[in-house]
């Protein structure tokens, strides 16, 4: 039996928080993060942990952000497309003078991040294939 595919859209900060939760602990390679300036699109492919499932599985998932005006990476080895990144969160920083625009920040483990200047929030997350088993459930040490 095939698992249902997840497809989510975000048009505001609350929607984006739902996508962020679904992508928490997703892993990707640097080469799978792509900014297409002519199309004003950012696209990425992740192996996301299926938090909503009753088993320890991951699935390939695509994230697309539209209306992206600029992209900048910090503490990400862009010279190594095979370097692995673990996504911790996606955050929106509203621009007071440019509403509904602002910046979408992808925060990675180890201090890396991507900042995407956007006209507005316009994001889509879609599963791309069948779930597959993973060895371990991601866990977080108490940081408090």
Decide if 17 is inside a domain: yes
Residue range 95-125, pLDDT digits in tens: 888 779 999 999 999 999 999 999 999 999 9
Mean pLDDT computed over 6-20: 96
Whether the CB-CB separation of 88 and 24 falls below 8 Å is answered with yes
- The model carries a pTM of 0.91
Domain annotation covers residue 30: yes
The answer to whether residue 115 sits within a structural domain is yes
Pairwise CA distance, residues 128 & 24, whole Å = 17
52-70 pLDDT tens trace: 888 999 999 999 999 999 9
Q: What are the tokens at 134?
A: 């993973």
CA distance 63 to 123: 7
| 135 inside domain | no
142 in a structural domain: no
Most distant pair of Cα atoms in the chain: their distance? 50
Domain count of the chain? Answer: 1
Q: Which residue has the tokens 């320890």?
A: 56
- 1 lies in a domain? no
Full residue range of the structural domain in which residue 112 is found = 7-129
Phi and psi torsions of 13, nearest 5°: -60, -40
Residue 134 falls inside a structural domain: no
Residue 10: which of 134, 131, 143, 120 has the closest Cα?
Answer: 120
Structure-block tokens of residue 144: 């408090």
Is residue 136 a part of any domain in this protein? Answer: no
């Amino acid at each position: 039996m095939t698992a249902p595919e997840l497809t989510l859209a975000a048009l505001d900060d609350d929607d984006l928080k739902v996508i962020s939760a679904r992508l928490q602990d997703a892993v990707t390679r640097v080469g799978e993060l792509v900014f297409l300036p002519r199309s004003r699109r950012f696209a990425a492919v992740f192996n996301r942990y299926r938090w909503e499932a009753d088993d320890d599985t991951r699935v390939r998932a695509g994230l697309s952000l539209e209306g992206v005006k600029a992209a900048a990476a910090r503490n990400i080895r862009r010279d190594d497309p095979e370097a692995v990144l673990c996504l911790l969160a996606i955050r929106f920083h509203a621009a007071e003078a440019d509403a509904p625009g602002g910046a979408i920040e992808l925060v990675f483990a180890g201090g890396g991040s991507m900042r995407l200047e956007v006209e507005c929030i316009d994001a889509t997350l879609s599963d791309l294939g069948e779930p597959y088993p993973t060895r371990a459930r991601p866990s977080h040490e108490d940081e408090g």
